[in-house]
Structure 1
Amino acid sequence: MGDAQEQLDLTEIDAIRAMLASRPRPVGWDERRARLDEVGSSWPVADDIRCEAVSFDGLAGEWSLAPGSDTDKVLLFFHGGGDCSGSIKSHRRMVTEAGRAMGMRTLAVGYRRAPEHPFPAQHEDALAAWRFLAGQGIVPDRIVVGGDSAGGNLSLSLAGRLRAAGERLPRCLWLVSPWTDLSMSGPTLSSKDATDPIIHRTYLEELASAYVPRSVDRRDPLISALFADLSGFPPMLIQVGSAETLLSDATRLAEAAGAADVKLRLEIWPHMIHAWPVWNAQLSAGRRALRSAGDFVRDQLLPS
């Protein structure tokens, strides 16, 4: 990356940091959900994107399609928010531009959230979304499963459930700033605490306590995908920012996947914060990350 591009990235990410710090951190689930919806939708979806609401198994979903995209290929996307917040609205700009970069339709899923709906509700909803795509005639080889933060963890867990059932897996996985270790043993939770404006240990602990029943071990592979047997998993792209407390969740996942002979690409983006592609409208590094994800996905979907 050239000096001019790096300076632009710093200027732009500082503006995003300022926006995030412009108001006190919200308190309570309703305030947190509203705040994430607000900051995530600060910039609207591009005018040429077509969105269409859909429902299945009592869940809300949203199709999106950019001009020239292939309707027979789908990005199945699970939003972040610690399993407690986040929504189709908060991640709409990220999802729709990812679909453009990948040249495919997207299906964003409004899965149930804790604490009203703790584990395993989110996993049941992810599987329902997978079944819905099958009912639409979309074959697994034409499906990319992806998500950011908790949505990345949910993507991995869905692949694990499908593998355990002997079912065909998605063609590849796209994981942005994945939260893969709910036992919170990653070293960057401490070393990056001062640089991460969003994610801190106390916040994660509150999220995990709301999501995981006390009777369930947080190192259970369905809860923390870092501890899963990843052998046989599809190729994965892991993207994470260098300024994240969850950096080691991503790097340790890459190490575990590599040791299991999973084809993968790990990208660590300098100066970027948690789930930075959410703000791609005003963040050139977010747009570049989406283009990189598009290149990765297109390579995986090429005929063998």
Structure 2
Amino acid sequence: MPSPQSAALKAHYEATVAVLSAAPDIDLALRRALLDQIHLVTGEPTGVTYRDVDAGARPGMWCEPEDGDQDGVIVYFHGGGFVVQSIHSHRKLAGHLAKAANRRVLLLDYRQAPEFAYPAPIDDAQATYTWLLDQGFESAHIAFAGDSAGACLALSTVVRLRDNGIELPAGVLGFSPWLDLESLPGTLDSNEQFDALAKRPLCEDMAAAYIQDTGAAADPRANPLRADLTGFPPVYMTASDIECLFDNGERFAERARQAGVDVTFVVEEGQQHVYQFMAGRAPEADRSVADAGAWLAARLGSPTPARV
């Protein structure tokens, strides 16, 4: 049974959707400002500091736990369908994850659609990974993480790195991954009555904004569900059984297992999309972030100190 505290996320999503439904032609800047308000449901993590950084080609934000291990790093790609949300909407969530993993998290301000379509976000992710390597971080002590579209970006970047013969990060974490850019039938339809946010029209609109005229919805370089997963690092994913994107993680996990990838897929009952936003306020989110942080810490180990 979901905790009473977790209901706040559904209420927030319902209020957001009500505003968007009442003003379907709302300016994109206002739409982005509205969706950035998701941070309001997240508790402020204690013992974490934040500072801006020029992460190579793009700006970013360091989320650093007090007395944390300063060697390994988690690169976090925020969700939002490649169109909305930002490092500011995800600052507190990233801070909770940094504290749970006892590692600094680098939130990346990657370029967004529709101004910058595929593959611009992947270009930015690769550039930041290269920047970290140039700073002295070892690939074996860098992990990728992200929620929703950010999880898609994390996995797509691994596909790019693998195909280009670049050493891969130590692991990939995905909260409520949105991977199906084709919007195929499945829980996108069967869970529609339970999911307060990530329904078919929204997913189709955001996929169209990201892909545009590239025709890449089924391209393995953009869609991890179409990719050859051979050689992938360990992957840890979570999803709720009632969210529309539930089968994205389920399908990826099955394909990953078939490719011999070390994959963990954790299913939470009765929660909304990216329920980890309730970190600091709901027990389900706190438990999930703690487990994810422990998994990341185990992947990252104790590397050679970097210069950042």
The whole-number CA distance in structure 2 between the counterparts of 1:290 and 1:47 is 15
Equivalent residue, structure 1, for 2:11: 18
The whole-number CA distance in structure 2 between the counterparts of 1:215 and 1:107 is 29
1:1-304 matches, within 5 Å, as: 6=1, 9-23=2-16, 24-26=18-20, 27=24, 28=26, 29-43=28-42, 45-302=44-301
TM-score by length of 2: 0.92
The whole-number CA distance in structure 2 between the counterparts of 1:57 and 1:265 is 31
2:117–2:209 Cα contact (<8 Å) kept: yes
2:142–2:170 Cα contact (<8 Å) kept: yes
1:45–1:92 Cα contact (<8 Å) kept: no
SS of alignment partner, residue 206 of structure 1? helix
SS of alignment partner, residue 71 of structure 1? strand
| 1:187-224 alpha-carbon deviations (Å, 9 max, x no partner) | 00111000000111111111111110223231101221
SS of alignment partner, residue 213 of structure 1? helix
1:10–1:271 Cα contact (<8 Å) kept: no
The whole-number CA distance in structure 2 between the counterparts of 1:104 and 1:249 is 28
The whole-number CA distance in structure 2 between the counterparts of 1:284 and 1:239 is 15
Identity %: 31
The whole-number CA distance in structure 2 between the counterparts of 1:76 and 1:41 is 23
1:186–1:248 Cα contact (<8 Å) kept: no
Residue 40 of structure 1, CA deviation:
2.1
The number of residue pairs the alignment matches comes to 296
The whole-number CA distance in structure 2 between the counterparts of 1:186 and 1:50 is 43
Residue 268 of structure 1, CA deviation:
0.6
1:41–1:91 Cα contact (<8 Å) kept: no
RMSD, aligned α-carbons: 1.5
Letter in 2 for 1:256: R
Residue 16 of structure 1, CA deviation:
2.1
What are structure 2's unaligned runs of at least 5 residues?
303-308
SS of alignment partner, residue 265 of structure 1? strand
Residue 298 of structure 1, CA deviation:
2.6
| 1:149-190 alpha-carbon deviations (Å, 9 max, x no partner) | 110001001111111111110001101111111001140011
What are structure 1's unaligned runs of at least 5 residues?
1-5
Residue 34 of structure 1, CA deviation:
0.9
> Which range moves more in the overlay, 215-224 or 142-151?
215-224
TM-score by length of 1: 0.93
| 1:65-110 alpha-carbon deviations (Å, 9 max, x no partner) | 1122111110100000000011001111111111111111110001
Residue 301 of structure 1, CA deviation:
3.3
